[in-house]
Amino acid sequence: MARSADLVKRRLWQQRLRRFTHGHLTVAAFCQAEGVSVPSFYQWRKILGRTAGDADLRPQTTPAFIPVEVVRATTIEIHLPNGARLAVPAGDQASLNAAVAAVGRLPRASQEGESC
């Protein structure tokens, strides 16, 4: 007799959790509307998440780790507003400083129009 009561309770909570998943209420609001406690909600979600065949009730898993390889850049590219690109060897601080200084000496777009 207890076994059939457990199955009825399990089915009731499966349906309840499915309604929650497809609804738009917070856990607290949903539990209040259903007349159940918040701790019961989390307990049943944990129990059914482990055993349910329904994907809606399974806990979300994190994706598998994907190995990546970090490759050091060989150049640094600076894209200028006029469309020009300046490539400087990565790790060459002197070249980078010279490039930034040269770009800083270029006339601004508003100044170019005045000189023409």
The mean pLDDT value of the chain amounts to 76
pTM: 0.42
Beta strands in the chain (DSSP E): 75-79, 85-89
Residue-level pLDDT at 50? 61
Residue ranges of the domains in the chain?
2-57, 75-115
- Region 4-14: mean pLDDT is 86
User: What is the spatial distance between Cα 72 and Cα 116, in angstroms, rounded to a whole number?
Assistant: 43
The answer to whether residue 75 scores a pLDDT higher than 90 is no
* pLDDT value at residue 109: 61
For residues 68-92, give the mean pLDDT: 76
Label residue 83 left, alpha or beta by phi (over 0 means left) and psi (-120 to 50 means alpha).
Answer: left
Cβ proximity of 17 and 57 under 8 Å: yes
- What is the average pLDDT across 65-82? 74
* Cα 116 to Cα 12, 103, 104, distances in angstroms: 81, 20, 20
Looking at residue 29, its pLDDT comes to 92
Give residue-wise pLDDT tens across range 10-36: 889 999 998 998 888 899 999 999 999
C-alpha separations of 66 from 59, 62, 63, 69, 70 in Å: 21, 12, 9, 10, 13
Residue 49 token pair: 């998440």
The identity of residue 112, as a single letter, is E
Tell me which DSSP letter residue 104 carries. H
- Residues with Cβ within 8 Å of 57's Cβ and at least 6 positions away in sequence, in order, are 14, 17, 18, 21, 45, 48, 49
For the cut 60, the answer to whether the pLDDT of residue 48 exceeds it is yes
Whether 39 shows a pLDDT value over 90: the answer reads yes
